[in-house]
Amino acid sequence: MASPDTSQMSGAGPQTGALITPTQCEIHPPLIDIKPLNYVFDVGRAMSIWPLTFGLACCAIEMMSVSMARWDMARFGAEVFRPSARQADLMLVAGTVTKKFAPLVKRLYEQMPAPKYVLAMGNCAISGGPFKFEGNYSVLEGVDQIVPVDVYVPGCPPRPEALLEGIFAIQKKLVGCRFWPEPQAVAEKGADK
């Protein structure tokens, strides 16, 4: 019995030259461009962001905690984590992206309907994190090499408050204004002397 050809089973498809080619994103202008109506649609989109359930490493724990009672991202319109890329409009890349998994990340991004946004969460997703060193052969040094990233949330792992600020930045990108109050700096004890 002959063994099956596994060259096309990895999900990467045929590749030429570079390991992974960046996705080409072409956005078509709307058929009918009525500014007040588009603004209403953009506010609706900003207040109902549906993130893709997509945790790759330890940052996913912080992503899950944002949806729990203490931070409750449902108050800000981003509670419905979708299991399918075809239902999501925000990809939260939370964790390390390996070169073996990169074609699947690109495929998920391409399956998302437009308008779509990407938030890179954590140092591993932004730059490779502690896995970035000379001779590294398996970790992608930043998810922005394969998909366009709209917002970066640094940290190892970033706090839930930082992820909420990243979601607010996506909302601001959609509408052009911030709906929620700016965070206030907390003064340390004895700092006022």
Hey, what CATH topology would domain 44-175 get? Rossmann fold (3.40.50)
Domain boundaries, the chain: 44-175
Please count the other Cβ atoms lying within 10 Å of the Cβ belonging to residue 127. 17
Residue 64 binned pLDDT confidence (cut-offs 50, 70, 90): confident
pLDDT, one tens digit per residue, over 85-113 is: 888 889 999 888 988 998 999 999 999 98
Q: Tens of pLDDT along 109-128? A: 999 988 889 999 988 889 88
Longest dimension (CA), the chain: 82
Nearest C-alpha neighbor of 80 from the set 90, 70, 71: 90
- 123 or 75, greater pLDDT: 123
pTM (global) more than 0.85: no
